A and B are shown apart, each in its own frame.
Chain A
Amino acid sequence: MSSSMYAHIRRNPRFAELVEKRTKFATILSIVVLVLFYGFVLLVAFAPGLIGMRLSEGSNMTFGIAAGLFQFVFFWVLTLVYVRRANGEFDDINNEIVRAAWKDEK
């Protein structure tokens, strides 16, 4: 791919917008995952009592197991949310940018 094509894309303000939006979105989601997961690991290390605590009297569902199950489900939902937005909104902007660049090239 020629450098001029890339230069066209770079000059398109929509490109900066796409990169900013997508980077921001991906960063926020990553931070959510990292904070929740490493927060959980730290709890396991420093507050094992809390992890082993039962959520209600007479039930064996502990805080740790519930938090684990929550992470499996929630992190997967986050991947769904990201894929939906990236494959929809972001890809639409992307296609628009690429089409505009092709037109400029000609």
Chain B
Amino acid sequence: MKANVLPRLAMGLLALSVAATAVAGDAIAQTEKQSLNLHAIGMFFVFVLMTLGITYWAASRTKSTADFYTAGGGITGWQNGLAIAGDYMSAATLLGLTAMMYTQGVDAYIYMIAFFVGWPIILFLMAERLRNLGKFTFADITAYRLDQGKVRTMAAVSSLTVVCFYLVAQMVGAGQLIKLLFGLDYVVALFVVGALMMVYVTFGGMVATTWVQIIKACMLLIGGTAVMLLAFSQFGFSFDELTTRAMEVHKLGDKLLAPGSLLADPVTAISLGLGLMFGTAGLPHILMRFFTVTDAKEARKSVLYASGIVAYFFNVIALMGLCAILIVGTNPQFFEGGEIGGKVIGGGNMIAMHLANAVGGNLLLGFLSAVAFATILAVVAGLALAGASAISHDIYSRVIMKGKASETTELKVSKFATIGLGIVAVLLGIAFEKMNIAFMVALAFGVAASANFPVLILSMYWKGLTTRGALWGGYSGLVSAVMFVVLSKSVWVDVLHNAEAIFPYTQPALFSMPIAFLLAIIVSKLDTSAAAKKEIEAFEDQYVRAQTGVGAATAAAH
């Protein structure tokens, strides 16, 4: 049945996209960017056709829940490394960080280091234990020896919170970007993203999601590298020449290469560092990737490759941003009304796109636009899959059905959950269209670092953790992270338009993480129930499995 539905759906989607292109044609007539849109749309079509082809192939290989959640555990280290890097390098990374480097100089480079440095820590402290203990979701690990119902519910709630915040950030960004690059209407753009994501995930599960991510990661690396090389060649590949001239024209002048406002006070700097580092280690769609590989060996390798790619790409982005200061920043063509130093056409996020246009013309701009769209799609698909697994595997199969659900129904529930999440994502995207959503990513990382990470790491390392402690730790981390962000300037003032922020810092992690850890530890220590005693005893076996992989979920035979 699946095989029949898919081509029809693909056809329908194609028709929808064609209709959308027609709409775009009207919109293009009113703006000046005609040729660029055709290149971008053409290349994007190639990408969509290719990924639908993969989804078609993947659908025939997605029969069991293991296939759906983790591609049967048969992904290699290399493939998973690329996919993790792809999950991590969202459109916000490419566009946002290039723009940040362009406006704030070396501050952005420091920010990127914080973004990167979580990876070695994940490898040293978590990768092999994650693989050895987990099966489909990270709640498999936190609930390993604790109360299944309560702990899984908590993990699923915080997973879904992270996924929703992250989805909103991606969807709003997607809508605005696509509107600008392709001339599509904002709402139409959201529907295209939502529909494609549902097709990838419901039919192709993790197999399709992984391959979409791999293709996109390669496209992103090629596109970014090409733009960087072309741009940097204009300065003879000389860092000194580039920076000397950049400092001459940039409004920061000499301060371009000195730390500035971004990390002005130590509390914000450290809180940001903590949030980015441990938030990475608590993102459900990233953690899920560790269950797709055959064993701990491959899990370690995937971090090695992923961190290498991320480190490389961040440096490419840094150079792109610096080159853009001269190539984009001094060219009136890219400013509204041709006024240099005024408003950049399309807003600050378009720096990377303008740079591609300046150094490679419409062809490169089209390619990079297609890459940006592909990036959004792939990340949204990964997020939806992580959210769907929290609903179907954790809540439905383990909490509601207490492990007695049949595989077929669980699979069905996960597909409905994906469709539900897709609809929610589109609706949230529409609701938040006009809002400043910059805080959403901070919130997602803050919650991941405060609600997911503490309980996860304690459950793997500390035998004293009990159900009660885990619940207090997880929920307090979740609530405090959200509260701190809501009361901070980015929501309280910028979104709710109050005069003054109640919480003085924009980054919650430095405060919410200790709250989560302390409550988890104190409540566990005070827990003298019989259940707690059993849970502590069960740590010994869990520990042996975590260390050796004996009893770990194995790759499904194909």
Contact = CB atoms under 8 A, between A and B. Distances in A.
Interface of A: 1, 3, 5-6, 9-10, 15, 18-19, 22, 26-27, 29-30, 33-34, 37-38, 40-42, 44-46, 48-49, 51-52, 58-62, 64-65, 68-69, 71-73, 75-76, 78-80, 82-83, 86-87, 91, 94, 97-98, 101
B341 interface: no
Contacts of A76: 120, 307-308, 311
A50 to B, nearest CB: 10
A23 B370 CA distance: 44
Contacts of A87: 297, 300-301
A52 B259 contact: yes
Contacts of A49: 258
Q: Is the interface of A mostly helix, strand, loop or mixed?
A: helix
B223 interface: no
A52 B258 contact: yes
| A19, A33, A42, A62 interface centre (most CB from chain B within 10 Å) | A33
Q: Is the interface of B mostly helix, strand, loop or mixed?
A: helix
A83 B301 contact: yes
Contacts, number: 160
A64 B255 CA distance: 12
A79 B304 contact: yes
Given A72-B315, A76-B308, A83 B544 contact: no
B273 A94 contact: no
B304 A3 contact: no
Contacts of B114: 37, 41
B30 to A, nearest CB: 44
B273 A6 contact: no
A82 B243 contact: no
A86 B116 CA distance: 22
Contacts of A65: 106, 109, 257
Instruction: Please give me the 9 A-B residue pairs with the lowest Cβ-Cβ distance, nearest first.
Output: A52-B258, A1-B551, A45-B266, A60-B243, A26-B124, A48-B259, A6-B544, A72-B311, A6-B541
B125 interface: yes
Given A71-B117, A79-B119, A44 B110 contact: yes
B436 interface: no
Contacts of B304: 79-80, 83
A30 to B, nearest CB: 5
B120 A45 contact: no
A15 B257 contact: no
B409 interface: no
Contact of B311 (A58, A62, A73): A73
Interface of B: 106, 109-110, 112-114, 116-117, 119-121, 123-125, 128, 239-240, 243-244, 247, 255, 257-259, 263, 265-266, 269-270, 273, 277, 296-297, 300-301, 303-304, 307-308, 311, 314-315, 540-541, 544-545, 547-551
B540 A82 contact: no
B550 A51 contact: no
A69 B270 CA distance: 19
A62 B244 CA distance: 12
B333 to A, nearest CB: 27
Contacts of B106: 51-52, 62, 64-65, 68
Nearest to B311: A72
A62 B269 contact: no
A22 B301 CA distance: 16
Contacts of B301: 83, 87
A82 B123 contact: yes
A60 B239 contact: yes
Nearest to A93: B548
Given A48-B259, A87-B297, A33 B266 contact: no
B317 to A, nearest CB: 12
A73 to B, nearest CB: 7
A77 to B, nearest CB: 10
A65 B321 CA distance: 14
B123 A83 contact: yes
Nearest to B541: A6
A79 to B, nearest CB: 5
